Amino acid sequence: MTELTRALEQPQFATERDPRLRLIIPIIVAIAFLMEQLDSTIITTAIPAIAQSLDTTPVRLNLAITTYILTLAVFIPVSGWFADRFGARRVFALALFTFTLGSALCGMADSFGMLLAMRALQGLGGAMMTPVGRLILLRSFPRSGLITAMTYMTLPAIMGPVIGPLLGGLLTTYASWRWIFYVNVPFGCLGIVAALRFVDDFHGEAVQRFDVPGFLMVGFGVALLQFGLENIGRPVIPGSATVLVLAAAALLLLAFGRYARRVVAPAVDLTLFRFRSFWVGTLAGGLCRVGLNGVPFLVPLMLQVGFGMSPVTSGSLTFVGSFGALLMRPLLSPLLRRFGFGVVLVGSALVGSATVAGFALMGPDTPHWLIGFYVFLFGIVRSAQFMTSNTLSYADLPADKLSRATSLGGVLQQLSVSLGVSIAAMLLGLIAGESHVLTPERFHQVFLLTAIIPLLSIPGFLYLRAEDGVQVSGHIKGSRK
């Protein structure tokens, strides 16, 4: 048998060549994703301690959160190009190294300026780590195994915002705020070694020149949009300046939309929206996620400010939602095989809306066990929507589109988180008014209003056809036409 014959008979996907990789590769990527997601929220409960240690104010320290998120927003769009040009394994390992180094240096920070600079370094690593990790999953599994791959990818995004504040509070209380950064170091080092050992080094074919003008337009546009959205929830600049920032972001992104039509290989491939499963999964799914993403922000605030609970009690109750997400993972494949993407997406949007509205029925006298159980149910519904829409987004894309799709999908996912929190914060501020008094009733009003948002995604989900995502879901009988 010739070498060529053996190469042709060799399974295309790493997980088919070595069944152990069906677990090893998702774990490597999931740990990286969880570190990136945790670092978006873990710092929140440690802000007072960090501010005191670095001789600054808690309000100024919001910049440590914003700096990290803005760096993510700028560099996520071009991560796919770097993976195609230099190889997915190499870029992923380098991203892990950058993130881990940034984490260690954040823990060593002896000034506010150093902390901000190292948070930016963390953000740079995270921006490359997440989309390239998603690309590694997509190219390591055949279509039939895509649900498994995507659930591993989605779980950290669901659990990170829930675990972050609790873990940050525990580490700050019982160790030091520096450990919220040091905790990443052993996982990062382990991830680098495992990635170099087990991950294939995928390259793109005929990689075009890097689109510098497009990168600048998209990077600054997304960064300004992200900053404007963040400023709604955590004000750093006046409201009038926020409007100008958002307007500038819109102009830059519109300018890129026109520019991209005239360029062979733009920084962000807008032709991806010609694939129905991709735009339904990212845009309609993103809209639904906006409505659901406000809950991890609102619930801890309501429990602490509205109901008078301690941060640890509140964090323990909201943490229960992560168990709901874990329970949903093995159930998703049978659900999609039985009902298909369309039914699961519409159903989870309807149930998700009702579940968000249900938080309005809670009060200070509601038993803790009942709150925990309800948060657990919400975790199941939220993860069903997230996993299904994320899986659908990449279900029908050709292999040569995957690297650019993971970059664009990463940007839209990041924005759905920010927009969900920003809308919830804006509604809470408007309802509280000048008194700034956050009573349980005012939280209830915000939950009822945000519950409307998932319903707005249903018309998009109804655009799906019976054949969309069938290779992944395996759903045939009873498909809707």
pLDDT, the chain, mean: 84
Tens digits of per-residue pLDDT, 149-201? 777 766 776 676 667 777 777 787 788 889 989 988 998 999 999 999 988 88
Evaluate whether residue 297 is within a structural domain: yes
Give the span between the Cα atoms of 178 and 163, in whole angstroms: 17
The pLDDT score that the predictor gives to residue 5 is 44
Q: Are 380 and 325 in contact (CB under 8 A)?
A: yes
Q: How many domains are there within the chain?
A: 3
Extract the tokens encoding 182: 């040091």
Give the span between the Cα atoms of 390 and 383, in whole angstroms: 10
Evaluate whether residue 412 is within a structural domain: yes
Evaluate whether residue 244 is within a structural domain: yes
Q: Reply yes or no on whether the pLDDT at 269 is more than 80.
A: yes
- Tally of CB atoms within 10 A around 195: 25
- Asked whether residue 303 falls in the same domain as residue 361, the answer is yes
Give the span between the Cα atoms of 49 and 55, in whole angstroms: 10
For residues 411-422, average pLDDT: 81
Tens digits of per-residue pLDDT, 38-66? 776 677 667 777 888 888 876 677 678 77
- Give residue 21's domain range: 14-204
- Tally of CB atoms within 10 A around 209: 9
Q: Which of 150-154, 271-275, 314-318 shows the lowest mean pLDDT across its residues?
A: 150-154
- Asked whether residue 340 falls in the same domain as residue 283, the answer is yes
Evaluate whether residue 316 is within a structural domain: yes
The pLDDT score that the predictor gives to residue 121 is 94
The pLDDT score that the predictor gives to residue 1 is 46
Percent of the chain whose pLDDT exceeds 70: 91
CATH number at residue 184: 1.20.1250.20
The pLDDT score that the predictor gives to residue 169 is 74
Look at the block and give the residue holding tokens 């019976």: 466
Evaluate whether residue 124 is within a structural domain: yes
Higher pLDDT, 287 or 9: 287
For residues 21-35, average pLDDT: 84
For residues 197-208, average pLDDT: 76
Q: Reply yes or no on whether the pLDDT at 434 is more than 90.
A: no
Evaluate whether residue 3 is within a structural domain: no
Evaluate whether residue 9 is within a structural domain: no
- Asked whether residue 294 falls in the same domain as residue 393, the answer is yes
Taking the CA of residue 470 as centre, how many other CA atoms within 13 Å lie in the half-sphere pointing to its CB?
A: 12
- Asked whether residue 83 falls in the same domain as residue 141, the answer is yes
For residues 327-356, average pLDDT: 91
The pLDDT score that the predictor gives to residue 479 is 45
Kindly indicate the confidence band of residue 205, based on its pLDDT and cuts at 50, 70 and 90: low
Evaluate whether residue 8 is within a structural domain: no
SS3 469: coil
- Asked whether residue 101 falls in the same domain as residue 30, the answer is yes
- Asked whether residue 63 falls in the same domain as residue 197, the answer is yes
The pLDDT score that the predictor gives to residue 4 is 40
- Asked whether residue 191 falls in the same domain as residue 49, the answer is yes
The pLDDT score that the predictor gives to residue 320 is 82
Q: Which of 127-141, 188-202, 427-441 shows the lowest mean pLDDT across its residues?
A: 427-441
299, 374, 343, 376: which is closest to 458 by C-alpha? 343
Kindly indicate the confidence band of residue 481, based on its pLDDT and cuts at 50, 70 and 90: very low
Q: Which of 15-29, 93-107, 181-195 shows the lowest mean pLDDT across its residues?
A: 15-29
pTM of the model: 0.80
Terminal alpha carbon distance of the chain:
48
- Asked whether residue 105 falls in the same domain as residue 236, the answer is no
The pLDDT score that the predictor gives to residue 207 is 66
- Asked whether residue 233 falls in the same domain as residue 338, the answer is no
The pLDDT score that the predictor gives to residue 346 is 95
- Asked whether residue 191 falls in the same domain as residue 340, the answer is no
The pLDDT score that the predictor gives to residue 59 is 60
Higher pLDDT, 121 or 135: 121
